Amino acid sequence: MSSLTPADLAHIESQLTATDELLDRNYPGDDGSRQPIHTVYIPADRFTPTFVADWGAQALATAEAHGGLEKLGQLLGQESHLASAVAERVAAKLSAEPIEDLRLDFEDGYGDRGDEAEDADAEAAANAVAAAVAAGTAPPFIGIRFKCFEAPTRARGLRTLDLFVSTLAEAGELPAGLILTLPKVTTVAQVQAMDFAVSRLEEVHGLPAGRLRFEVQVETPQLIIGADGTSPVAQLPHVVPGRISALHYGTYDYSASLGISAEYQSMEHPVADFAKQVMQLAVAGTGIRLSDGSTNIIPVGDAVEDAWKLHGRLVRRSLENGYYQGWDLHAAQLPSRFSASYAFYREGLPAAALRLRNYVERTEGGVMDEPATARALAGFVLRGVQCGAVGTDEVKALAGVELSQLTALAHPRLAQPTSH
């Protein structure tokens, strides 16, 4: 006999109403859309409709000048059969889609050129983006980083944001992969101000509410631990629910603000790991993505191979730590970005696919996977497919699932009806 009555259940339901609403509203989980594996930053005035293809050609030329992509893979520690498979796919990637996400920079990479010049460049950047999208030469994700909301640059940053978005809106439908980046955030109030700014732009241009989402760059210690001892970054998803698309770690601003000497500023410094772990905790379950930062050691001159080895190792380290995106600053970093990323997914594919097949077919194996682990396995394989590291035919052969089933396994909430 049960002891709890319907009245008891009703009491508990009423107690947990607020919890249910919080989980539904603030922790929707990942939306299942593609996340780029990198973001390329360039000064805004350098972008042209052929820029992406030009960088792809430069990347391939650099690889060929140093022995080819297969040699690069071996340089990064890949065994010969893996290096060969990776090289073939990286060559195709650099020819077809060398940049997944591009940010036209009006902040540190652009500097202060005066209002007249920046106004003109903001409008020109928007027109160039519109032209590239129309011509089919734009990357899947593209947008701008404007100046931060600290007092000295606030008005300038807002004006650039306004001019860029308004010019794009006048040119026609906004790019599906439009991304806006708010840098050097120190307080929750700055993010709330950004929410207000994009809400007003949506109203003025007749855009759906929530259309203009934005990234927050975590570059200051004040965002990790605030003046009152709390963590402002953990509050961000909840003060503007659904508005923030990603948190990006800023390697050098953050390290410098903590007094780390230039020689030791790095994505793998302990202060970086601490900040990024706090970021992971802050956005877990919210659907907000994460991106690691960059390395300023560029593969040029006599240091190409050493820079590739460093970059490849850092990319791999980020992936292993759950950061599936990072920054690239130079065309010569593209070969090592894709080579290291593709090797990560291809190395892990056989074991992940076997465990996924055993889970789906309810076959006993050496590992007893639960639904949460199955989601992680499917998510890993799906990321590999989305970036081009593995093919759907390989997934079907190894895991026995089609892309639609793989997506449902990775994001089961998407197939469930909402509570409303």
From 300-314, 328-342, 368-382, the region with the lowest mean pLDDT = 368-382
- DSSP secondary structure letters along 319-385: HHTT---EEE-SGGGHHHHHHHHHHHHHHHHHHHHHHHHHHHTT---SS---HHHHHHHHHHHHHHH
Q: Exposed, middle or buried, 96 (CB in 10 Å: 0-12/13-18/19+)? A: exposed
User: Over 264-314, what HEC string results?
Assistant: HCCCCCHHHHHHHHHHHHHHCCCCCEEECCCCCCCCCHHHHHHHHHHHHHH
Q: Which range has the worst mean pLDDT, 210-214, 241-245, 261-265, 359-363?
A: 359-363
Q: What is the side-by-side order of every strand in the sheet holding 289-291? A: 289-291, 244-249, 214-218, 178-182, 141-145, 101-105, 38-43, 326-328
pLDDT value of position 368: 64
Whether 340 contacts 316, CB under 8 Å: yes
| Per-residue model confidence (pLDDT) at position 413 | 77
Is the separation of the CB atoms in 67 and 340 below 8 Å?
no
From the list 115, 195, 128, 129, the residue with the least C-alpha distance to 160 is 115
pLDDT at residue 420 tops 80: no
Residues contacting residue 328 through CB under 8 Å, at least 6 positions apart: 38, 39, 40, 41, 294, 334, 337
Would strands 38-43 and 326-328 be described as parallel, antiparallel, or unpaired? parallel
Model confidence at 14, pLDDT cuts 50, 70, 90, reads: very high
pLDDT tens for each residue of 160-208: 999 999 999 999 999 999 999 999 999 999 999 999 999 999 999 999 9
pLDDT tens figures, 61-116 = 999 999 999 999 999 999 999 999 999 999 999 999 999 999 999 999 999 999 99
Mean pLDDT of the chain: 95
Residue 419's pLDDT is what? 43
Q: Decide if 182 contacts 190 (C-beta within 8 A).
A: yes
pLDDT value at position 366? Answer: 62
Instruction: Give all domains of the chain, ordered by start, each with its CATH number.
Output: 38-347 (3.20.20.60), 349-414 (no CATH)
Residue closest to 375 by CA, chosen among 362, 391, 359: 359
pLDDT for the residue 179: 97
Checking if the pLDDT of 417 tops 70, the result is no
Q: Which of 321, 221, 238 lies closest to 280 in space, CA to CA? A: 321
pLDDT at 13 over 50: yes
Task: Return the DSSP state at 413.
Answer: G
Mean pLDDT of 141-148: 98
The rounded percent of the chain whose pLDDT value lies above 90 is 93
* Cα separation, 220 vs 251, whole angstroms: 10
Residue 140: pLDDT over 70: yes
Instruction: Give the separation between CA 60 and CA 391, rounded to whole angstroms.
Output: 22
